[in-house]
A and B are shown apart, each in its own frame.
Chain A
C-alpha cells in the first residue's frame, strides 16, 4: 500500500468511519488496531520489533520511576536502540534512499527496518523524559502502544514528543467535520508535493544522473539543485500527509519543515529542516553532551558527534558519514565566522546572498545522499565547480530541455509560489466554518487535485499505453 494510492485513501476513510462510530473509551483501540494493520501491511515480520520496543519502553519507564538511575536509563536506551542498531548495521543501506522516504521501492522491500528509526527515537526520547521527570510514565499499555505505532507517523515521522502526543492519545476527541476537512486538505497538499513536485523532479534527476560521470559540470550542478528540491518536497510531502492523516482524528502533530531553503545560515537551516529529528538530537544528544554549555574543543566535539550520529541514523554508509562531516564542518566554520568581528557585520546584511550560499552548501552536501561511492562524489564536486572549463560545462543533458523538465519546473514553481510567501499557511488553515476567500481555496484544491490525478507520477510509465 503506497501512501498515495487509492487503497490508502480507502483505508483512511474506513478508519475515520470506524473511529467516528466508536464510543470514546474505545477510540484508542480502533486507532491501535488500524495502526498495527497498517504497519503489518508493509512488514509483518517487523511487528515483533515494534512490540519489543513498545514493551521495553512501557515497562522500562515504570522501572525508571522506581529507580531513576543513569545506569538503568542507559541500559534501557541501549535495549530500545538494539533492533535499530542491528537493523541498520546488518542492512547497511540508506533508509532515505534517493527515491525519498516513502516510495514503493523503499517501503516494499520488506527488509528495510521500516519506521524503526523513527519510533525507536520516539521511545528513547520518552524514556529520557521520564527519567528527567518532565513526562509522567504512561499507565495504559494500549495508549503507549498507540503512541509508538500511531499509523499516520509510524513510517517516517514526524518523531513525536511524549509530552505532546501521549496526552492526545489519552483524550481522543470525537470526529469533527472541521478536522476531517483540514486533514484532508493537508493530505492533498502533501500528495501534491510528493507525486507532482518531487516525483516529477525525480524523473528529470534520475535521467540526468543515470551515469553521473558522463555528465558535464553544468548538468551535475543543475541536477543536484533539482535533487535538493526533490528531496525536500518528497519528505515535506510525506510529513504533510502524516500530519493531515493525524488531523483527521483530531490529533495534532508538530510541523517537520519550515521552508528550510530560505535559511540564511546552517544554524537556521537546522531549525527549519526535519525539525522533529534535529530538535530530538538537540535535546537528547547535544544537550546531554553539554554542547550548550561548553566552548572550544568540547563544543566542536558535541557538534561533530551530533552530525555523525545523524548521518549514521540515515544509513550506515561512508557517504552518510561524509554528509554528516560536511555539515559539522560547515556548522563549526559558520559559528567561528560569526564570532569573528569582520564577518559578524556581514552576517547581519545581505540576507539574500547568505540564503543562496546556504542553499548551495546544503545542495552540495545532498550529493552524498544520492551517490554512494566517495570517489564519484569527489569527481562530481570537482566538475560542478569547474565552471572555467568553458562551453563544455554548459552542454546539458537533453532531459533539461524535455517536456518533463517543463512540467517539473512548473510544478515546483507553483509549490514555491504557494509556500515561500506563506500563502499556503492561510490556505491550509482556512476552515469550512470560517472560510477565507473561497475562490482561493477552490483554486488551491482544484490545482492540487487535478495535478495529483493527471500529472502525478504514481504508477505512470509502467504501462506502455500506446507502445507496441
Chain B
C-alpha cells in the first residue's frame, strides 16, 4: 500500500477485485461478513442457517465414528453450536467469526474424509506403524504385521509397550527394568528379519538372564535416540546402553527429526497418509542405482556435504560431526545419571565390506579411490569414544572377515547372517565386560515354558509350554533337543511331575483363572488318564509324587455351601488305599508341597498374614516347622537330591530370585541377583545344576545354571 522508495516499478492498477477468485460455493459466512459489523442482532434466519451449518459440519454420527466416544459425539456439536451462535450474536469481530467458521469447515472436511476412507474404502488405508512420542516416532503398540518384499518376508509384532516381540511371546507383558538397552535405527529395529534372528535376540539368548530391550526405530539419529533415552530409556535403569551407529546415514544431518503438524496429522489421519505418502517417501527403485546408496551421492557437492567417506569436507559436514559428538556426550551423561554405562556399536555399510558394492557406487558416481577414505568413520568414532570414555566396538573387522552375505541386495539392511555376525562380535566384546554367561537357556522356542521337572535319573524333563493360547505338557531330554508334546487339547495343563520310575505323570488340569482345577495322573504315553480330585466340588493343583511313587501331595480346596471356595490345604493321598491326610489347618492358604528324598517330610508354602513362608511337616511326628521368616514372599520349595538343602524362589526386591536354605545349618544363600524373575527351581540328579523357569524381559523360558557341588 505504501511501499515508498521501492523504485519506479510499483505498477498501478493493482486493486482489481479479488472476488474473481472467490468461489461462491465455499460455504463460508460471506453474507454475514458484509453486514455483521453494523448490526447488533442477527436476524433469526441467519441464526438458523448457521446453526444448521454447524450441526452439519459436526454431524454427531461422523464424530462418533471418528472418536468412538459418546461424550464427544454429543459434546462437539453442542460446543460448536453454542460458540457459533454466541459469535453470530456479536456485533463486531467479523474476522473472528469468519475464521471460526472457516476452521470448523476445514476440520469437518478432514474428519468426514477420514471417516469416509476408513469405513468406505478400507482397502486404501495405509497401515500406520508408528506413533509420535515427544519428538520422535516409536512403534505403535500391539502391532501384528507382515512385511513382504522380494528379498524377505517377516512377521512384525509389538508388545503393549511398543517393543518388538517374537511370535510366541505375550504382548501384555510389561518391561519395567532392563539390563541392556539397545538404541539404534532400522538396523537395530531389523524389520527385515524375524524377531528370533535379530542380533539383540541372539545376544539375549547368549546371555539369557539379562533383560534386553531393543528400542531401535527406523530413521532415528543420535538426537532422537537421546530424546528416546530420556523419555523411555532412563526409567528402565539399564546397566548398559548400546548405541548402534551406522555409517549409512547416522553421521549426516545430525539434528532432531522434524515432527511437525503434517507428521502428526499423518500419524493420526489415514486420509492424510493416503495423500502424502507418495509425495514424501521415495521408492528406492527410483534412486540412481535402484537401491539406497547413502552416504554416497552422484554429485560432488552432496558428497562433500554429507558423505563421511568422502575426503573433501565442508562446513556442513564438520558441523554434523560436531553435533554428533555433542549428542554423544549428552547421551553418555544421561546414561551415567541413570546408573548405566554407554557403549557404541559401530556398524559398517555394504560399501565398506564388499568390493562389488563399492565398485558399483564408484563407477556410477564417478568416484576414484583417492577421493574416499573408508576408515574415516571408525577413526572418528574411536577417537571420540576414547575422549568421552565410552565403550566402543567397531564391527568393520568382523564384517570384513565373514564370507556370508550380510546385506540384502536392493534393501540396504542386514540379512539374518548379518545379524548373526553382529551378535557374535558383540557377544565376544560383552563377555569381556560382564564375563561369560553363567545361565544357559534350555528352551528352544520362546513359548512361555515353565515348571521344569527333571526325572530322578536326569535323562528327561517334563515342563509346560504355551500352545494355541493354552498350557500343554511336554517331555524333553536333558538337552531339550528331543521334545515330545504329551497333551493336545483346549484345557490348560500345567505343573507336570514325572514319577521316579518315569512311567506316570502328575499335573494340574484346568484354567487357573476359574480356580476350579483338578489334579490328574496319567501314563507318560498319554493313556490311563485319571482325575484324583474327582469328588464333587473338590479341586486341586500343583501336585507332587513321593519318592516311592506311592503317595502324592497337592493343594486341595472345595466349594463351600455359600458357593465360595475354601482356602487350599496341603493333602497327602495314598495312591493304594485312597486315604487322605491333611497336613495344614483349614482356613490357612497353603500350596506347592514337595516330599523330602527320605519321604519323611513334606515342605510347602503357607500364608502367614500377607506373606507366604516355607514350612515343613514331619510325617512321623506330625509336627509343622516354619523354615523361613522374612518380610517378603517365598515360593516354590524343592529339596536337593540328598535332602540337605531346600531351593526356593523369593522376592526380596521387586522381582523373584533363587535361594538355597541349608537344612543342617539353617543358613540361606542367595543364588541369583538378576532384575528378571526366576522361579520353579529344580536341581539336576547330581545336584550340580539348577534348572529353573524365568522371565527376563520378554524372554520367558526354562534355564539351567551351575550351583556347584553339594555340601
Assess whether B15 is interfacial by the CB under 8 Å rule: yes
- In contact, A467 and B315 (Cβ under 8 angstroms): no
Distance between Cα atoms of A441 and B1 in the complex (Å)? 17
Q: Is residue A108 within 8 Å, beta carbon to beta carbon, of the partner chain?
A: yes
In the bound complex, CA of A254 to CA of B94 (Å): 30
With A426-B18, A463-B137 given, is the CB distance from A453 to B261 under 8 Å?
yes
B445 at the A interface (CB under 8 A): no
| Chain A 153-183: CB-based contact to B (< 8 A → 1; otherwise 0) | 0000000010010000000000000000100
Binary contact track B512-549/A, C-beta < 8 Å → 1, others 0: 00000000000000000000000000000000000000
Chain B contact residues (Cβ within 8 angstroms of A): what range? 35 or more
- Give the Cβ gap from A409 to chain B, nearest Cβ, in Å: 13
Residues A109-129 near B (CB distance < 8 A)? 109-112
A 16-75 contacts with B by CB, 8 A:
none
Q: Is A231 an interface residue (CB 8 A)?
A: no
* CB atoms of A271 and B9 under 8 A apart: yes
A residues in contact with B5, CB < 8 Å: 161, 164, 254, 279
Give the chain B neighbours of A279 by CB distance below 8 A. Answer: 5, 7
Which of B272-280, B630-638, B648-656 is the contact stretch? Answer: B272-280
Q: Which residues of B contact A108 (CB under 8 A)?
A: 316, 319
Residue of B with least CB distance to A163: B5
State whether A463 touches B316 (Cβ < 8 A): no
In the complex, are the beta carbons of B26 and A439 less than 8 A apart? yes
Contact A468 B305 (CB under 8 A): no
Partner of B14, one of A211, A275, A426, A453: A426
Q: A112-B315, A254-B3, A461-B280 are contacts. A435–B94 as well, Cβ < 8 Å?
A: yes
Chain B residues with Cβ below 8 Å from A254 are 3-6
When the two chains form their complex, are residues A464 and B218 in contact, meaning their CB atoms are under 8 A apart? yes
Interface 9-mer from A320-328, A341-349, A417-425: A417-425
B-chain residues with CB within 8 Å of residue A395 when the two chains form the complex = none
Are A459 and B276 interface neighbours, CB within 8 A?
Answer: no
B299 contacts across to A, CB distance below 8 A:
210-211
Q: How many A-B residue pairs have CB under 8 A?
A: 184
**Pairwise interchain contact B6-A438, C-beta atoms closer than 8 A:** no
Q: Does A443 reach chain B (CB closer than 8 Å)?
A: yes
Whose C-beta in chain B lies nearest to the C-beta of A455? B279
Contact of A292 with B by CB under 8 A: no
Verify B411–A422 contact, CB threshold 8 A. Answer: no
Q: Given that A455-B279, A466-B281 are known contacts, is A422 also in contact with B219, CB under 8 Å in the complex?
A: no
The answer to whether A403 touches B23 (Cβ under 8 A) is no
Q: Which residues of A contact B191 (CB under 8 A)?
A: 468
Q: Tell me whether A309 is interfacial, beta carbon within 8 Å.
A: no
A465 contacts B18, CB within 8 Å?
no
Cβ of B30 within 8 Å of any chain A Cβ, yes or no, is yes
A6 interface residue, CB < 8 Å from B? yes
Residue B508 at the A interface, CB < 8 A?
A: no
Chain B contacts with A in 213-233, Cβ cutoff 8 A: 218-219
Are A438's CB and B1's CB within 8 A? no
Distance in angstroms from A265 CB to nearest chain B CB is 12
Most buried by B among A272, A418, A421, A442: A442
Q: Which residues of B contact A466 (CB under 8 A)?
A: 126, 129, 277, 281
Q: Which of B1-37 contact A (CB under 8 A)?
A: 1-11, 13-24, 26, 28-30, 33
* Per-residue A-contact encoding for B462-474, CB less than 8 Å = 1, 0 else: 0000000000000
Most buried by A among B275, B277, B299: B299
Of B95, B266, B284, the contact of A465 (CB 8 Å cutoff): B266
B665 at the interface (CB under 8 A from A): no
Q: Per a CB cutoff under 8 Å, which of B3, B7, B98, B288 touches A271? A: B7
- Residue B186, interface by CB 8 Å: yes
Q: How far is the CA of A254 from the CA of B5 in the complex (A)?
A: 7
Q: Of A210, A268, A278, A418, which is in contact with the most chain B CB atoms at under 10 Å from its CB?
A: A210
B260 x A453 contact (CB < 8 A): yes
Question: Which residue of the partner chain B has the closest CB to A418?
Answer: B21
Asked if A440 and B7 make an inter-chain contact with CB atoms under 8 angstroms apart, the answer reads no
B218 contacts which chain A residues (CB < 8 A)?
Answer: 464, 467-468
Scoring B29, B130, B315 by chain A CB atoms within 10 A of each residue's CB, the highest score goes to B315
Q: Within the assembled complex, what's the spacing in Å between the Cα atoms of A111 and B99?
A: 43
Cβ-neighbour of B260 out of A161, A402, A440, A458 (below 8 A): A458
Q: Chain A: which residue is nearest B299 at the CB level?
A: A210
- Using A108-B316, A429-B1 as known contacts, say yes or no to A454 and B276 having CB atoms under 8 A apart: yes
Q: Which of A268-291 contact B (CB under 8 A)?
A: 268, 271-272, 275, 278-279
Contact B21 A443 (CB under 8 A): yes
State whether A426 touches B3 (Cβ < 8 A): no
Q: Decide if B265 is an interface residue (CB 8 Å cutoff).
A: yes
Residues of A close to B319: CB separation below 8 A: 108-110
Which residue of A is nearest B275, CB measured? Answer: A454
Q: A463 vs B288: C-alpha distance in the bound complex, in angstroms?
A: 19
Given A427-B18, A462-B257, A109 contacting B315 (CB threshold 8 A): yes
* Contacting pair A460 B280 (CB below 8 A): yes
For A432, list chain B residues within 8 Å (CB): 94-95
B265 partner, pick from A164, A444, A454, A463, beta carbons under 8 A:
A454
Task: Report B3 CB to chain A, min CB distance, Å.
Answer: 5
- In the complex, the answer to whether B130 meets A465 with C-beta atoms within 8 Å is yes
User: Which A residues are in CB contact (< 8 Å) with B3?
Assistant: 252, 254-255
Q: Which single member of B14, B30, B130, B298 contacts A439 (CB below 8 Å)?
A: B30
Output the residue of B6, B261, B272, B277 with the most chain A CB within 10 A.
B6
User: Are A459 and B15 in touch, CB under 8 angstroms?
Assistant: no
- CB nearest to B147 among chain A residues: A468
Distance (whole angstroms) from the CB of B479 to the closest CB of chain A: 36
Check: A333 CB closer than 8 A to any chain B CB. no
Would A464 and B281 count as touching, CB distance under 8 A? Answer: yes
Check: B359 CB closer than 8 A to any chain A CB: no
For A334, list chain B residues within 8 Å (CB): none
Determine the chain B residues whose CB is within 8 A of the CB of A398 once the complex forms.
286
Docked complex Cα distance between A422 and B314 (Å)? 42
Q: Which residue of B lies closest to A164 (CB)?
A: B5
Q: Is A258 in contact with B272, judged by CB distance below 8 angstroms? A: no
- Bound CA–CA A211/B364 (angstroms): 11
B79 on the A face (CB < 8 A): no
Q: Please tell me which one of the listed residues B16, B19, B286 contacts residue A421 in the complex, with CB atoms under 8 A apart.
A: B16
Is B106 interfacial (CB-CB < 8 Å)? yes
Closest to B323 in A: A108
Confirm or deny: B258 has a beta carbon within 8 angstroms of a beta carbon on chain A. Answer: yes
In the complex, whether A335 has a CB less than 8 A from a CB of chain B is: no
**Separation of A66 and B26 alpha carbons in the complex (Å):** 65
* A272 / chain B contacts, CB cutoff of 8 Å: 7, 9
Q: Is A390 an interface residue (CB 8 A)?
A: no
Q: Kindly list chain B residues whose C-beta atoms are within 8 Å of the C-beta of A454.
A: 262, 265, 272, 275-276
Q: Is the CB of A468 within 8 A of B186?
A: yes
A436 to B20 Cα, complex, angstroms: 12
A446 at the interface (CB under 8 A from B): yes
Cβ 8 A contact of B262, one of A161, A435, A453: A453
Query: Are B16's CB and A443's CB within 8 A?
Result: no
B192 at the interface (CB under 8 A from A): yes
Say whether A271 contacts B8, CB under 8 Å. Answer: yes
A389 at interface, CB cutoff 8 A? no
Residues of A within 8 A of B (CB): 5-6, 105, 108-112, 161, 164, 181, 210-211, 252, 254-255, 258, 268, 271-272, 275, 278-279, 398, 402-404, 407, 417-418, 421-423, 425-427, 429-430, 432, 435-446, 450, 453-456, 458-468
- 28 A-B residue pairs with Cβ-Cβ distance under 8 Å, sorted by A, are A105-B316, A161-B5, A210-B299, A211-B299, A254-B4, A254-B5, A271-B8, A275-B6, A279-B7, A422-B13, A426-B16, A430-B18, A435-B94, A435-B95, A437-B19, A438-B28, A439-B30, A442-B98, A443-B22, A446-B106, A453-B260, A461-B281, A462-B219, A462-B253, A465-B280, A466-B281, A467-B218, A468-B411
Given contacts A254-B4, A438-B33, 11 further A-B contacts (CB under 8 A): A112-B315, A181-B95, A275-B6, A275-B9, A403-B278, A422-B11, A423-B18, A425-B15, A435-B95, A464-B281, A468-B189
Q: Shortest 9 CB-CB distances between A and B: which pairs?
A: A459-B258, A109-B315, A440-B22, A422-B14, A439-B22, A425-B14, A432-B95, A438-B33, A463-B219
